[in-house]
Amino acid sequence: MLIALTRGVSPSLGDCELQDLTRQQIDIPKAIEQHRNYRSCLADLGVQILEIPADPFCPDCVFVEDPVVVVDQAAVMTRMGVASRRGEGPAIEEALSRFRPVLRLTEPATLEGGDVMRIGKTLYVGLSRRTNEEGVSQLGELLGPFGYRVVPIPVHGCLHLKSACCYLGKQTILANREWIDASALLEFNVIDVPAEEPRGANVLRIGETLVLPASYPRTHKLLRRAGFQLRTVDVSEFEKAEGAVTCTSVLFDT
């Protein structure tokens, strides 16, 4: 069974970490409603939701993807690139330890799950302002014994690798190649996001369905023409916090 680990919206989300966006006021009740609708969308697609409570002292805690990398054999607790977010990990570790043995990155490594795009047994890992070379190296050392290969990809225009590219299935990646070094992706068919929607590449794949933010209609049209089945969700309040659809869940099979 496919499970999605999610976490409630912190009342302090407005104090989230920002890298590239200007801070805007976040409507917390609206964010809570959008998160509820997001979970309902996943449930409609056959995913079992495992929800853990928000932490009022961790503004970014709803973005559960960043503190952990989950593969079939283990859950790797990351060491996030901003110290203010490192308190998010214990609750996630507690929830996942029932399903996977837990491994850990250690100082001086930094790595955030939003920089990790898994395709089969290959993990493409963004070298970003949040993930460093030591983080990539340690992830490879921990997961290499399970047969995983780690491939670094420089990120230079956005927060995380998956802000700029996501795997759609069918050997196809949706990408904004202006924000990454895409030379490691030459074996794939790359669909470029419309220039008017540079942040449209973040897509959550569940089975044969792609879940996308409602705010990128040109990207929706492009993917429908390419034959993909789509579901859209409104995540406008999370977009103000540099979030999207992949970062608010951790998907894994039991």
Residue 118 CB coordination number (10 Å): 15
Quick one: which of 86, 7, 15, 13 has its CA closest to 39?
Answer: 7
DSSP secondary structure letters along 125-138: EEESSS--HHHHHH
Q: Which of 35, 61, 160, 166 is catalytic?
A: 160
Q: Which of 16, 165, 166, 247 is catalytic?
A: 247
Q: How large is the greatest C-alpha to C-alpha distance in the chain, in angstroms?
A: 46
Sign of the C-alpha dihedral computed for residues 12, 17, 21 and 22 taken in this order:
positive
Q: Are 234 and 213 in contact (CB under 8 A)?
A: yes
- The answer to whether 160 is a known catalytic residue is yes
Residue 247 CB coordination number (10 Å): 26
Residue recorded with tokens 């995913």: 47
Amino acid at 58: C
Q: Are 168 and 228 in contact (CB under 8 A)?
A: yes
Which residues, including other chains, have CB under 8 Å from residue 102's CB and lie 6 or more apart? 74, 75, 76, 77, 93, 96
CA distance 72 to 250: 13
Give me the active site residues, please: 160, 247
